[in-house]
Chains A and B, each alone.
Chain A
Amino acid sequence: MEKLKSLADLKRIREEAKTKLDLRVRGDNPEGLVQVKVAMATCGIASGAKQTMDFFVEELDKRGIGAVVTQTGCMGYCYAEPTVEVQLPGQESVVFGYVDRKKADEIIEKYIKNGELVEGIIPVNYEKID
């Protein structure tokens, strides 16, 4: 990695990183990528988030679905771990709770492939600052 020697350097990195994130979020092209975020804090991992994450990584690849699977921190829904946020290109993201391998399989087959929602949605009820 190069060193950032000025604010201008930081801004450049920020623009590059933003574009990458935006592409993932907006997904202008119909083949835009599906984004899957797995909450991987200690509590999530203890409830099996690691297995869930591995499952998404392997199965999405096997089933030929263009997706980015990333880990993230705690979403706050401790009662429903493991929690996973799925964002289909150009759509609002949806958070699912209690995602074990079986649920993950259902999410891939129904929601990611066909846009059909499955049970286990956690309604997000907070405002995020930008």
Chain B
Amino acid sequence: MHLLVCGGTGCRASESNLILESLKRELEEKGLSSEVQVIMTGCFGFCEKGPVVKVMPDNTFYVHVKPEDAGIIVAEHVIKGRPVQRLLYVDPKSKEQVPDSKHMGFYRKQIRIALRNCGFINPENIDEYIARDGYASLGKCISELTPADVIDIIKKSGLRGRGGAGFPTGLKWEIASKNKADQKYVVCNADEGDPGAFMDRSVLEGDPHSVLEAMTICGYAIGASKGLIYIRAEYPLAIHRLKIALKQSKEYGLLGKNIFGTDFNFDIELRYGAGAFVCGEETALISSMEGRRGEPTNKPPFPAEKGFFGKPSNVNNVETFANIPVIISKGWEWFSSIGTEKSKGTKVFALAGKINNVGLIEVPMGTTLREIIFEIGGGIKNGKKFKAVQTGGPSGGCLTEKHLDTPIDFDNLVAAGSMMGSGGMIVMDEDDCMVSIAKFFLAFTVEESCGKCAPCRVGNKRLLELLTHITKGNGTMADIDRLKNMCNVIKDTSLCGLGQTSPNPVLSTINNFMDEYVAHVTEKRCPAGSCRELMKYSIIVDKCVGCTACARGCPVNAISGERKGPHFIDQEKCIKCGACFEKCKFGAVLIK
């Protein structure tokens, strides 16, 4: 028997280490320490009900455990085999006690569809994929369904593109299928470029066959015989595993001519990108694949009409494809039963930033930010206060405390002034300056703008200059208005999605954190204390003992004072490097 005590940050803060010790002591007293082991584990993600203790192998889950409960757990559960009723988790809906963790709603918060095989099968072995019903959906499509049936299933499932914009996948396939041509293409967009998003890489590295199978199904549905995966060369392992997967499925005849003995032919090739953000935009992606500069073009014509070398092409993102085989095998009814009214299924999110459990999660659409950040993500690092979360990467916006209980789906995020994007979630705490955050994302888009249209090329650059101005304490209230105006012009007049969304981080931080912008320009103060130019270092005379450590450490000789007498910082000379603050052993250096 094992007793697992949660050692996550939240539970540790409420003395789970004392619980561990008390349990060990109780077991020792009863002479059971050789048979029952007490182990501290990582975060159960159930921090709200912490500290938690789980008993194995019967999966009994105790919540709000106190060190003094150790006695009763050992006496009742370990010795007599009776769960301690009062410590069991009570389901908030049914008001009933839940005997084991398998029946807890909490553990159904994450459902893995796109990630179903990631971390479970060996991605370099096609047989393991087949053992998990791989390629059975392809077989079903080719031998039992017409292309129109397949499109109908995908349409009814309600699947929307996971790359960012959320366009209905079935509709996209239908348009591509109706355009007549001697050659059509299925294109997989694996040009994942949002800072902080890595779900597509994980799918390709963990389950490459699911994408190959889905592309082949798509080829059958739209009448294409050729597939292309556009992947960035910065993903060498994903490329390596894709190559192995391609070789294996060709050997099995799952790609190539006469698949499953029918007259359907389909083949897939890889195309490498150099890692430009704009190439995630489908027209730019196609230009790049054709060997030209990765620049977007006007839509229409859409790729479904005129795509790769002028032929109808259907472009879907990796995660979108990863959902397809499951929709075919389990049916559209099953898939559309998950999620919200207009956003079906699940979404993979990459949690990053100031959050305890940085990682990849997959939750049904409609899960709230609070559930994602505080339950699955284990809350904010170092017990700091939550401030905002940036969704949708540099094209998205930041959401705040007031959005924590909004169910997340494509439409709600747009209504809240952000977007789904590819599913990056960067969590910020009270130490993050929102003006600097906007500046960070804008610096990224300025770097990644292809330069084809003026609003994006010139406008974003000017935005960045204004933001830099403000973070240095040189801004005025008029600058904030100028920022807003310019943002709207860039949004309205840019050619592609990159420019149309790049001002979002600026607009959403102005909307949600206007007070921080105002503090920067009127008081020349950074409320989060992160803008270096606005910080002021001074020495508290009463605390200074005159040890001269700060003066010796100052690289610009800005500190003066006699030995054993109080020291002073010359604000004109100070470069705000913080060396004096680190050197002072008496806490006499004050940062404001």
> B130 and A17: CB pair below 8 A?
yes
Q: Are A13 and B205 in contact (CB under 8 A)?
A: no
Does more than half of chain B's interface fall in helix, strand or loop, or is it mixed? mixed
In the complex the two chains form, is A117's CB within 8 Å of B260's CB? Answer: no
A10-B136, A123-B6, A126-B112 known, 19 other contacts, Cβ within 8 Å: A4-B253, A5-B261, A43-B198, A71-B122, A73-B123, A74-B206, A76-B202, A76-B359, A77-B359, A79-B357, A80-B42, A91-B57, A97-B42, A117-B37, A121-B41, A125-B45, A125-B106, A125-B110, A127-B110
CB distance from A39 to the nearest CB of B (A): 6
A62 interface hit (Cβ, 8 Å): no
Interface presence of B111 (CB below 8 A): yes
Instruction: Name the B residues within 8 Å of A117 (CB-CB).
Output: 2, 4, 37, 39, 56
Minimal Cβ-Cβ distance residue in B for A117 = B39
- Chain B contacts for A97, CB-based, 8 A: 42
The answer to the question of B486 belonging to the interface, with a C-beta cut-off of 8 Å to chain A, is no
Q: Complex formed: what's the CA distance from A77 to B118 in Å?
A: 12
A70 at the interface (CB under 8 A from B): yes
A66 at the binding interface (Cβ < 8 Å): no
> Is B513 an interface position by the 8 A CB rule?
no
Most B CB atoms within 10 A — which of A72, A92, A117?
Answer: A72
Interface residues on A, range: 35 or more
Within 8 A of B (CB), among A40-93: 40-43, 45, 70-80, 83, 85, 91-92
Q: Is B143 interfacial (CB-CB < 8 Å)?
A: yes
A71 touching B39 by the CB < 8 A rule?
A: no
Known contacts A13-B127, A128-B120; is-contact A79 B112 (Cβ 8 Å): no
- Please name 18 pairs of A and B residues whose Cβ atoms are closer than 8 Å in the assembled complex, sorted by A: A7-B139, A7-B260, A10-B260, A72-B119, A73-B207, A74-B119, A75-B118, A76-B359, A79-B359, A92-B57, A123-B4, A123-B6, A123-B54, A126-B107, A126-B110, A126-B111, A127-B111, A129-B326
Interface residue B376 (Cβ < 8 Å from any Cβ of A): yes
Q: Name the CB-closest residue of B to A94.
A: B56
Q: Are B116 and A1 in contact (CB under 8 A)?
A: no
Cβ of B96 under 8 Å from chain A: no
Contact yes or no, B111 A10, CB < 8 A: no
Q: Is A102 an interface residue (CB 8 A)?
A: no
* A113 touches B (CB below 8 Å): no
Residues of chain A within 8 A of B42, CB atoms compared: 77, 80, 97, 120-123
| A35 CB → nearest B CB, Å | 11
Which residues of B are found within 8 Å of A123, using beta-carbon distances? 4, 6, 41-45, 54
Q: Which residue from B127, B201, B253 sits with its C-beta under 8 Å from A3?
A: B253
In the bound assembly, the distance between CA atoms of A86 and B511 in angstroms comes to: 49
Interface string of B463-485 (1 = CB under 8 A from A): 00000000000000000000000
Contacts of A128 in B (CB 8 A): 112, 116, 120
CB pair A76–B360 under 8 Å, yes or no, is yes
Chain B residues whose CB sits within 8 angstroms of the CB of A72 once the complex forms = 118-123, 206
Minimum distance in angstroms from A17 CB to a CB of chain B: 4
> Which chain A residue lies CB-closest to B247?
A1
The answer to whether A129 touches B112 (Cβ under 8 A) is yes
Task: Select from chain B the residue with minimum beta-carbon distance to A46.
Answer: B237
Q: Name the interface residues of B120-151: CB closer than 8 Å to any CB of A.
A: 120-125, 127-128, 130-131, 133, 135-136, 139-140, 143
Report B's interface with A, CB cutoff 8 A.
Answer: 2, 4, 6-7, 37, 39-46, 54, 56-57, 106-113, 115-125, 127-128, 130-131, 133, 135-136, 139-140, 143, 198, 201-203, 205-207, 235-238, 248, 251-254, 260-261, 326, 330, 356-362, 376
Give the residue of A10, A41, A73 whose beta carbon is less than 8 angstroms from that of B130.
A10
Give Cα A105–Cα B201 distance, bound, in whole angstroms: 30
Measured CA separation A125–B54 after assembly (Å): 13
User: CB-nearest residue of chain B relative to A75?
Assistant: B119
Nearest-CB residue, chain A, relative to B102:
A127
Chain A positions within 8 Å of B117 at CB level: 73
* Nearest CB in chain A to that of B201: its residue: A42
Residue in chain B with minimal CB distance to A81: B359
Which single member of B39, B237, B248, B361 contacts A121 (CB below 8 Å)? B39
Q: Give A1-32 interface residues, CB cut-off 8 Å to B.
A: 1-7, 10-11, 13-14, 16-18, 20-21
Q: Contact check: which of B39, B110, B235 meets A119 at CB < 8 Å?
A: B39
Closest to B2 in A: A117
User: A3-B252, A4-B252, A76-B119 given as contacts; is B107 within 8 A of A118 (CB)?
Assistant: no
Assuming A126-B110, A129-B112, is B119 touching A20 (CB within 8 A)?
A: no
Q: A5-B261, A117-B39, A126-B111 are in contact. Are A79 and B358 (CB under 8 A)?
A: yes
Nearest CB of B to A15, in Å = 9
By beta carbon, the residue of chain B nearest A74 is B202
Q: A72-B119, A121-B41, A122-B42 are in contact. Are A13 and B130 (CB under 8 A)?
A: yes
* Docked pose: A81 CA to B201 CA in angstroms: 16
* Nearest CB on B from A101, distance (A): 20
Contact B39 A118 (CB under 8 A): yes
Q: How far is the CA of A1 from the CA of B130 in the complex (A)?
A: 14
> Which partner residue on chain A sits nearest B330 by CB separation?
A129
Question: Which chain B residue lies CB-closest to A19?
Answer: B131
CB distance from A94 to the nearest CB of B (A): 9
* Contact (A77, B357) CB under 8 Å given A4-B260, A123-B44: yes
A78 CB contacts on chain B under 8 angstroms: 358-360
Which residue of B has the minimal Cβ distance to A21? B131
